[in-house]
């Protein structure tokens, strides 16, 4: 670990008569020492990163400001803290800057900036994403996912949560909780995998770094360890999440009736449920206000509660994003259209109404507007994240009969991605299906690269490479294309 001491910059500078004779590394050191002397921040280099930390940032303070970190990508390799800090501070108080380094000590082109609160972090993302830190050199900025969870696969199925906690605590520090899901047929067994929650991202990263290089054995079972995937779906703004009044309950028994869940919640909390919907092994429980939902969350998640005993996982439900919203509206419109069509057929047998053609025309325009909304969401996403363009082509399928859409993505006249939807009875449904499939693939690849920081710089090229890998490995599209025409 390298630690830079404050107050020695002037001494170093004065003892050097000719700055041109100082090596590049020494010049950087002098600049960093001057920055520390000016800001009174502490600078420490360890574990492949250099941390510039504000004096007021304590361990307790850090735990209170979760969700306040921003990921910065596409940074110049010779861009250091003294150049970054003045730019980052325009959004608000910067508590910590972590610059990633390679083995030679040069930067890896990305960093993490921790702000005083989540609101300031959102402001920083708006200000810095696309900001030209140097002429012709825009940088990328997104909210950093504070992933504190690791996935352990291939674990013994006959072990309990308490046994896993005891055994894993011998190997690593900072474990907060372990999520274990019982087997659907035999509740005394688990499903062969667990999720381990740590107190912070740093603890999870250190545990992963310790376990990844060699084989991990638990009770003579070889176990695979990696980051747990971020929660699926589009990211939701924190201001919206603060007003959510519904709870998401996971790990329910498949055969548990919906009414039984309602009775358990109301009997345990004595708070009326506004609406409840159970789907397979999870359920959504809606309440009249945020205050009531918070009270239920507190009661149901406390140690010794029925949720704890039954190993239910309870968290805030995430509102649906624009893609899902458009898909839901599309289904509603299709149902309305079909219902009106059936009604119109019955009416035509009795009397002809001249305004039916106008109504059908309006429905057609509404359908085209929804299709355009799908296409716009995808094209905007591709343009922003991949700096590329989309093309759409509708093909006719003979077996099974119907339509299938091909979506191709180009950048600088080079094909970087191509995929197909599934066969659908109408062209509109075919377009909707293809756009949804491609959008989810691209978005998953983008979130994996940005949030897990597997490919530091440049982000766009790394995602493009992953897209081409997806393209090669997807046999489904080739099979469907062979049935087209």
Residue 150 backbone phi and psi in degrees, to 5: -110, 150
Is pLDDT of 102 > 80?
Answer: yes
pLDDT-derived band at 479 (thresholds 50, 70, 90) equals very low
Tell me if domain 2-143 and domain 149-227 are identical in fold. Answer: yes
pLDDT tens digits, 161-198 = 889 999 898 888 889 988 888 776 777 888 888 899 98
Q: Are 437 and 412 in contact (CB under 8 A)?
A: no
Q: Give pTM, 2 decimals.
A: 0.46
Topology of domain 2-143, CATH: Alpha-Beta Plaits (3.30.70)
Token pair for 74: 């596409």
Give residue limits of the domains in the chain.
2-143, 149-227, 245-315, 322-483
CATH classification code of 245-315: 3.30.70.330
Among 45-49, 363-367, 475-479, the range scoring the smallest mean pLDDT is 475-479
Residue-level pLDDT at 34: 86
Give the pLDDT score at 87: 93
End-to-end CA distance of the chain: 64
Closest to 204 (Cα-Cα) out of 152, 141, 142, 153: 152
pLDDT band at residue 320, thresholds of 50, 70 and 90?
Answer: low
Report the CATH number of the 149-227 domain: 3.30.70.330
Starting from the edge strand earliest in sequence, which strands make up the sheet with 94-101, in order? 2-4, 42-46, 49-53, 94-101, 107-115, 69-73, 140-143
Tens digit of each residue's pLDDT (9 = 90 or more) over 104-115: 778 889 999 999
- The per-residue pLDDT for range 25-79, each reduced to its tens digit, is 778 888 888 888 888 898 888 777 888 999 888 877 776 777 788 999 999 988 8
């Amino acid at each position: 670990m390298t630690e830079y001491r404050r107050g020695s910059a002037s001494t170093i500078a004065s003892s050097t008569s000719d700055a041109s004779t100082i090596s590049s590394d020494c010049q950087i050191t002098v600049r960093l020492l001057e920055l520390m002397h000016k800001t009174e921040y502490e600078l420490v280099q360890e574990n492949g990163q250099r941390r510039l930390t504000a004096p007021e940032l304590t361990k307790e303070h850090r735990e209170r400001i979760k969700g306040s970190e921003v990921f910065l990508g596409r940074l110049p390799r010779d861009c250091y803290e003294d150049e970054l800090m003045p730019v980052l501070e325009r959004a608000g108080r910067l508590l910590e800057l972590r610059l990633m380094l390679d083995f030679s000590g040069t930067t890896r082109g990305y960093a993490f900036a921790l702000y005083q609160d989540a609101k300031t972090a959102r402001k920083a993302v708006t200000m810095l994403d696309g900001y030209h830190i140097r002429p012709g050199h825009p940088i990328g900025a997104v909210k950093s996912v504070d992933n504190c969870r690791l996935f352990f696969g291939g674990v013994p199925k006959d072990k309990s949560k308490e046994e896993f906690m005891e055994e894993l605590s011998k190997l690593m520090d900072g474990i907060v909780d372990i999520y274990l899901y019982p087997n659907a047929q035999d509740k005394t067994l688990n499903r062969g995998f667990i999720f381990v929650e740590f107190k912070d991202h740093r603890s999870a990263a250190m545990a992963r770094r310790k376990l990844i290089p060699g084989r991990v054995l638990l009770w003579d079972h070889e176990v695979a360890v990696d980051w747990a995937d971020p929660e699926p779906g589009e990211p939701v703004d924190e201001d919206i999440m603060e007003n959510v009044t519904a709870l998401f309950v996971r790990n329910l028994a498949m055969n548990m009736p919906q009414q039984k869940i309602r009775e358990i919640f109301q009997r345990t909390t004595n708070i009326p449920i506004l609406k409840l919907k159970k789907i397979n092994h999870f359920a959504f429980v809606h309440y009249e206000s945020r205050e009531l939902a918070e009270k239920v969350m507190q009661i149901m998640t406390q140690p010794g509660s029925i949720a704890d005993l039954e190993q239910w996982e309870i968290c805030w439900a995430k509102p649906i994003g624009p893609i899902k919203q458009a898909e839901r509206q599309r289904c509603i419109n299709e149902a309305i259209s079909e219902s009106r069509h059936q009604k119109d057929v019955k009416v035509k047998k009795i009397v002809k109404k001249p305004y039916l053609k106008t109504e059908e025309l309006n429905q057609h325009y509404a359908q085209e507007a929804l299709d355009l909304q799908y296409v716009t969401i995808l094209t905007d996403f591709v343009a922003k994240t991949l700096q590329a363009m989309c093309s759409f082509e509708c093909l006719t399928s003979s077996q099974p009969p119907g339509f299938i859409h091909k979506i191709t993505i180009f950048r600088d006249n080079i094909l970087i991605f191509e995929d197909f939807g599934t066969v659908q009875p109408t062209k509109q449904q075919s377009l909707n299906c293809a756009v949804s499939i491609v959008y989810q693939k691209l978005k998953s690849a983008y979130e994996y690269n940005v949030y897990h920081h597997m490919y530091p710089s440049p982000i766009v090229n790394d995602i493009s490479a992953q897209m081409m890998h997806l393209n090669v490995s997807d046999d489904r599209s080739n099979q469907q294309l062979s049935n087209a025409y």
